[in-house]
C-alpha cells in the first residue's frame, strides 16, 4: 500500500517552529525501485560505499563491517528523499 508523502518544505511539516498548515507541496507517492550500491575496498583495508541512485549516500571507514552495518540505517534515512 502506498500513501502520499510531503516534501520537507511542505507546510504540513512546519511544527514545532510554526503551526502546521495545509499541504502546499502537492505531495507525492513514493515508488519502490532498484538501486545500485558501489563498494570499493580502501587502501587501508577499509570500505568505501556510495550509490549514484542515492546521492547523499557516502559511507567510508577503516572497519569494513562497521561500514556495512551503517548501510541499512543510512538508507532508512535517505531513501524517503529519493523514492
The footprint of Zn ion (CB under 5 A) covers 6, 10, 23, 25, 27
Q: Minimal distance in Å, beta carbon 29 to Zn ion?
A: 12
Q: Minimal distance in Å, beta carbon 40 to Zn ion?
A: 38
Residue 55, number of CB atoms within 10 A of its CB? 11
- Between residues 23 and 70, which has the closer beta carbon with respect to Zn ion? 23
- Between residues 14 and 41, which has the closer beta carbon with respect to Zn ion? 14
Residue 47, classed as helix, strand or coil, is: strand
Cβ atoms of residues 2 and 20 within 8 Å: no
Q: Minimal distance in Å, beta carbon 9 to Zn ion?
A: 9
Cα gap 32→61, rounded to integer Å: 29
**Which helix (H) or strand (E) segment is 80 a member of?**
helix 64-82
- Between residues 62 and 80, which has the closer beta carbon with respect to Zn ion? 80
Amino acid at each position: 500500500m502506498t500513501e502520499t508523502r510531503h516534501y520537507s518544505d511542505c507546510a504540513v511539516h512546519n511544527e514545532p517552529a510554526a503551526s502546521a498548515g495545509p499541504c502546499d507541496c502537492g505531495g507525492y507517492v513514493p515508488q519502490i525501485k532498484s538501486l545500485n550500491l558501489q563498494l570499493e575496498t580502501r587502501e587501508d583495508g577499509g570500505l568505501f560505499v556510495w550509490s549514484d541512485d542515492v546521492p547523499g549516500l557516502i559511507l567510508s571507514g577503516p572497519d569494513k563491517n562497521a561500514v556495512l552495518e551503517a548501510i541499512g540505517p543510512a538508507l532508512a534515512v535517505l531513501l524517503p528523499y529519493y523514492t
